[in-house]
Every structure is written in C-alpha cells, then in structure tokens.
Amino acid sequence: MTLNRRTFLGTSAVAAASLAAPMVRAQGKPRVVVVGGGAGGATAARYIAKDSKGDIDVMLIEPTRTYYTCFFSNLYIGGFKEIDDLGHSYGGLAAGGVNVVHDWAVGVDRDGKTVALAGGADVAYDKLILSPGIDFVEGSVEGWDLNAQNAMPHAYKGGSQTELLKAQLAAMPEGGIFAMVAPPNPYRCPPGPYERVSMVAHYLKLNNPTAKIIVADPKPKFSKMSLFEEGWNTHYAGMVDWIGEDFGGNVVSVDPAAMTVSIDGEDTSVDVCNVIPAMKAGRIAEMAGVTEGNWAPVNAADMSSKTDPDVYVLGDASQQGDMPKSGFSANSQAKVCANAVRGALTGSKVFPAKYSNTCWSLIETNDGVKVGATYEATEEKIAKVDGFISQTGESADVRKATYEESEGWYAGITADMFGVEA
Amino acid sequence: MATRAARYLVSLACAALMALPVRAETGDVAAGEKVFQQCKGCHQVGSGATHRIGPHLNGLFGRKAASLDDFAYSKSFRRAGAGGLEWHADTLDVFLENPRSMTSGTRMSFRGIKDAQERANLIVFLRQFSDNPADIPEADPTAQGADHDLDPAILALVGDPEYGAYLSGECTTCHQAGGTDAGIPSITLWPEEQFVTAMHAYKNKQRNHPVMQMIAGRLGDEEIAALAAYFKDLTN
C-alpha cells in the first residue's frame, strides 16, 4: 500500500504515541495544566480527565466561578435569553475529576515547565494547554482604551460587559443612535457583530422604533453579508446604516467623554457606542512566548505550538489556518488536542485530526441562519475542505428550524464543555 | 463468467489506482507565482490590480464567471456565467488545463497547462487574493479537494451491465447509443471510472448541467456503476 498523506499522518501519530508510551514517570502521574475554562479549555480538560480514567492529573485554571458564554450573548441583548441562561459553573468538571483552580495564570516558565498563579503558587506540567481566548489590541480604535470600556463597552467577552451594553441599550432615549465600531479581521466569531446589530434592531423595533443603528466597519465585506442585509431590509427597514471600508468605515475615532464617533472625518453624537477593537491572543499566550504577532501559531495535526511541543494553544488565541475563531471551533480543536495529549502521556491511540465548525446567527424571531465547514490538517495549516451556508430567500420554516437547531447546539456544546446536561 | 471475473479484477485494479491521491493535495505558492508569469501579459492580481486584456483576478474564488460589471467579457463567457459556472479550485483546474473545454468561444488565447502540479501551484497562488475562510467562513475551501474525491468504495463497485442496459433507456432518449456527439455528448466507450466520476460530479452538483444533475441525482451508486459497466462496451 502506498501511503497518502492522511494515512501517513495517522500512522506517524500512532508511532509517535507508542514511542512516548514507555515514559514511566518516577513521581506519580503525568500532569496536564489547562489555562482558560471556555469552549477550548473546559472541553480539553474534561475529555482528558474522562478518557484517561484517572491516569492523568488534570488541572484547570480559570479565574471566574461562573462562566458566561460569549456565544448566544447577542440573544440576551435581543431579549431572547436571560443572563443566567448563559452562566455555567465548573462543578460538573470537578465532579468529573478535573482539579479546578479559580486563579489567574500570570506566567509560564517553559524551561522549568511550571505555570505561575496570581495567588502565588507555581504548578508543574508535563503538557500545558493554553486556551485564553482574546484580548484587545491597544490603540486599534483611536480614543478608546480599557478605561473607556464602561462608557463605550466592547461586550465581546461574556458577562458584565454584555449586561452593561444591554442596560445602555434599554436606557437609550427615544429616537436615539446606537453606534457600533466593528473589528478588523481576524476576530472572534465572524458573524457576531452583525448578529448583534440584528438583535439590537430587534430590541429597538419593539421598544424604541424610531432609533437608528450606525455601524462603522473597517472591512469591505463580512460573513453572511447577503443574509444579514436581506434580514435587515426585511425586518428592520431603514434602521441600520452599515458604513464599510469603501465609505470610510475604516477611518474611525471615538471620544468616550463627549460620546461622539467620527467616521471619515464626520462627527456624530451617539447614545450608545459599542466599540469592538482589534483582537489578539489572550495575554498569557504572549507571556508564555508562543505568539508570533498577535496570535499563537500551532501545528494543524494536534494544536501543539510551533514554538514548544509541550504547549498547545486552542481556540481564538491560536493561529491555525482556515477555521474561524468560534466556540464551536475551539471545542472541535480541544477534542483533537485531548486525544493527542493523552496519547503522548499514556500511549493511548491517537487518531488523525478531524475538525468542523458551524456558526448560527439569529436575525429576528425564528429567523436563524448558519454557515459551516469541515477542515483537515495539512502540513501547512488547518485547511477548509467543504462547507455550506444558508441561502437568501429561504422559507420561514427552514429559518425557524435553523434557529431551533441552534438552541439544540447551545445545549449540546455547553454539556460537552462542562459535563452537565442542560 | 470468465469475462465477469476479468472485469472484476480490472475494476479492482482501477479502484486501487483511484484510491491513490489523484492530484497533489496542496500546491506551492512560490512555484505558482512563477507559473503566473505566463498569465501576467493579460491578467493582474494583488493589491491595486486592474483589468487589462483580461479581467483582474482578485476575489476570483467563489465568483460567478463573467460577473464583473466593468469588464467586457466574450459572449461565450457570459453564457457560461449565466449557465451557473463559478470559479472554484475544481472548475479552475478544468479550465486551466484547457480553457476551451469550458468556454469554446473564449478570447483567452492560451493553450492551457497540462501538468496537474503546475495547475495546483497556480491555483494556490491565486487563492491568496480571495476571501480567507478564517475571516469569512463561507469563503471557498483552501484544501485541494481531497474530500471531494469519490469514496474508493464507490469506485470499487462492480456494475451489472444487464441492469445498466435496462437503466440506459433513460439516457438514450438524448445520448445516442451509436456514440454520435452532435449537440449532445457521447457517453459510450468511456472507461468506467471516468463515467462513474462524472455521474457523481453531477449528482453532487459539482458539474452544472441541470438536466444531468436531476437525472444523476436520482441514481444510486449501484445504478451508476451498472450504467458505467453497460456503456463501457457499447458499440452499435
């Protein structure tokens, strides 16, 4: 039999695993430390603990006691969810054998293989999995910094910021202006800003129908653009003004004290301003020295860092190729990574990487759309193989079914992450 | 029985051949840039590219053929675009091999690139100037179609020519059993794997013809194998 790349990858991974198998450790069980308890980290921690049946010590470091998902947070803004619907505790992971430590990771010593915690402890690892999500690029929107995030929230990490933006939306004066500064590529959740526009429009249509939405966008186009534009025309005619790169959407500054937004030299007073800055890998990835530019390059076969084979980077923080930064992607990557890490530490069988993603977006009540794809590991990157997207002009039944499917997915992925059935 | 057994062996051999990667999974960008030298006389790509003798090639992947408003396309290309031709890695691969196979009246006077690896290199070079799936998930794939290839199990199916003879009635309404190809292509004497691959390409809507998509869409794997086995030896 002639080897093609896929079988070669598979067998070489198995061979590598069997080489690693005799690594008998003098001081007890192998240790995996996972930093970040979101879609990547929680899933990886849970799968390694579950599948190793106690043969690997798994520690998850996550500062928050309750994790608020960023995915579906737009539905809370639109009034389709309560904030508590988005909150998840780590009790299920603890019960599943993961040592959950609520602390900040503040440093990584890759030579000594330890992670420093804000609380003062150093924890040792054999394999380190970083899944820190995103941070913002300083200075990417002129006039905005973290000090301004109460006046002009980003609401692009789940939790208090999401609640703040919702409160500001509810407090808008009649006929007021909601502005959004959309982010440049690449960023978390490509359709997210536009689903948010839809959900804000939904809220305003019910509660403040003469209000307007302005979006300043540095990009010439965005994911599901024709679907969103169709939806905005159908459901929210005249409410949404999207200003793309061609019309100066990339020449933007804000003044949080005066509550003004300048787009292509023209100042506008606004009532709410949602600034979604440019993004980069969560800071611990940079501190660990595994980033190159804003993101952490990884190998497509197992999500290991291109800098250090004992460090893995999952989800939004990673630079892997064609997968969009999404909770679904992070969850998919986590399972590939968990399989590889377990194989390296215990000699269990390592299967070839298989990745997939789907992003659902809600445009209006029962009007859901989706885009998805499958991916494979090539030597160079994770490459898109095949995909689908909802079509414009679909029937109301199809759109309703798509929305219901997204509800099912939310229940599914959160159960998969946290080990608790909804 | 002897012929049946021989045929079985032949199709096993074909299946084994087809199970190998039929083309390189990925191309080489730098090598592709060199191949693009041949195109540069007429086409620009990259930052600031404009139409020359041929249209610029930015945003090519996922674009309908002849769809840029500000370029004067040939009638042949406009017809192909109206007929549903879109530019993806697979259609570009066919087009670049022989431009006139897809658009007989194109003004693009280019003999084509016969070497599959050269085409793959050119395609990955050009792919850089279209949307990236990491930013726009619905953008065209960048993997070179490894999973688009037909499942080897489908190619390994041994068709029953008697069943194929029965099923062929639906084909010969349009395609002449004598093999004439005036107006409508000939479908006789094709190597089985080519026939099967083509039919599955219609079934999977990778080939565009609406009637063939409809006909192939209703045929099961066994039925396509049977038709391939029947038409393979058909001489009137």
- The per-residue b/e assignment along A169-181, b for 16 or more CB within 10 angstroms, e otherwise, is beebeeebbbbbb
The neighbour count for residue A289, using CB atoms within 10 Å, is 13
* Chain-centre distance for alpha carbon A419: 19
Measured CA to CA, the distance from residue B125 to residue A207 in angstroms comes to 51
For residue A363, pLDDT over 50 is answered with yes
Query: Which residue from B125, B193, B134 is spatially nearest to B159, judged by alpha carbons?
Result: B193
The stretches in chain B having pLDDT less than 50 are 1-24, 146-148
Please report the residues numbered 8 through 27 in chain B whose beta carbons come closer than 8 angstroms to any beta carbon of chain A.
20-21, 25-26
* Cβ-based contacts of B137 with chain A (< 8 Å): 190-191, 223, 324, 357, 359, 371-373, 387, 389
Measured CA to CA, the distance from residue A62 to residue B58 in angstroms comes to 44
Q: What is the pLDDT of residue B207?
A: 67
Instruction: Say whether residue A186 is in contact with chain B using an 8 A CB cutoff.
Output: yes
AA identity, residue A110: R
Least confident span in A3-17, A247-261, A280-294:
A3-17
- CB atoms A373 and B26 under 8 Å: no
Tokens 């923080």 found at? A317
Q: To probe the interface with A, which of B29, B127, B132, B135 has the most A CB atoms within 10 Å?
A: B135
Please report the residues numbered 205 through 224 in chain B whose beta carbons come closer than 8 angstroms to any beta carbon of chain A.
none
* Chain-centre distance for alpha carbon B97: 10
Name which residue leads in pLDDT, B79 or A60. Answer: A60
Q: What is the pLDDT of residue B183?
A: 66
**Radius of gyration of the CA atoms of chain A, in A:** 22
Measured CA to CA, the distance from residue B36 to residue B127 in angstroms comes to 12
Please check whether residue A98 is in contact with residue A46, taking contact to mean a CB–CB distance below 8 angstroms. Answer: yes
Query: Which residue from B123, B75, B121, B67 is spatially nearest to B95, judged by alpha carbons?
Result: B123
CA distances from A117 to A104, A113, A132, A382 (A): 6, 13, 14, 32
- CB atoms B132 and A385 under 8 Å: no
In chain A, count H helices and then E strands. 10, 24
Rounded average pLDDT over A144-152 = 96
Give per-residue pLDDT as tens, A261-319: 999 999 999 999 999 999 999 999 999 999 999 999 999 999 999 999 999 999 999 99
Long-range contact pairs involving B212-216 (C-beta distance under 8 Å, separation at least 24):
B215/B170, B215/B171
- CB atoms A223 and B143 under 8 Å: no
Longest dimension (CA), chain B: 66
Please report the residues numbered 128 through 157 in chain B whose beta carbons come closer than 8 angstroms to any beta carbon of chain A.
131-143, 145-148
Name which residue leads in pLDDT, B210 or A368. Answer: A368
Q: What is the pLDDT of residue A421?
A: 66
Please check whether residue A277 is in contact with residue A133, taking contact to mean a CB–CB distance below 8 angstroms. Answer: no
Q: What is the pLDDT of residue B236?
A: 60
- The per-residue b/e assignment along A366-379, b for 16 or more CB within 10 angstroms, e otherwise, is ebbbbbbbbbbbbe
Query: Which residue from A119, A126, A115, A130 is spatially nearest to A37, judged by alpha carbons?
Result: A130
Question: How many CB pairs below 8 Å do chains A and B form together?
Answer: 84
Measured CA to CA, the distance from residue B4 to residue B129 in angstroms comes to 51
AA identity, residue A111: D
Q: Copy the structure tokens of residue A324.
A: 């969009």
- CB atoms A387 and B137 under 8 Å: yes
- pLDDT bucket at A377, cuts 50 / 70 / 90: very high
- CB atoms A5 and B148 under 8 Å: no
Give per-residue pLDDT as tens, A91-147: 999 999 999 999 999 999 999 999 999 999 999 999 999 999 999 999 999 999 999
Of all residues in chain B, the one with the smallest CA distance to A227 is B138
Of all residues in chain A, the one with the smallest CA distance to B144 is A385
Rounded average pLDDT over A81-100 = 97
Please check whether residue A321 is in contact with residue A340, taking contact to mean a CB–CB distance below 8 angstroms. Answer: no
Rounded average pLDDT over A327-354 = 93
Is the bond preceding A191 in cis, omega lying within 30 degrees of 0? no
Tokens 């980003």 found at? A154
Min Cα–Cα distance to chain B from A142, Å: 23
AA identity, residue B166: Y
Q: Name residues whose C-beta falls within 8 Å of residue B103's C-beta, 6 or more positions apart in sequence.
A: B65, B74, B76, B77, B79, B80, B85, B95
Name which residue leads in pLDDT, A355 or B173. Answer: A355
Please report the residues numbered 246 through 265 in chain A whose beta carbons come closer than 8 angstroms to any beta carbon of chain B.
none
Beta-sheet strands, E only, within A54-211: 57-61, 66-68, 87-89, 99-101, 105-109, 114-117, 122-124, 127-130, 134-136, 177-181
* Cβ-based contacts of B134 with chain A (< 8 Å): 185-186, 321-325
Min Cα–Cα distance to chain B from A227, Å: 12
Tokens 């697979």 found at? B90
Average pLDDT, chain A: 92
- CB atoms A5 and B25 under 8 Å: yes
The neighbour count for residue A39, using CB atoms within 10 Å, is 30
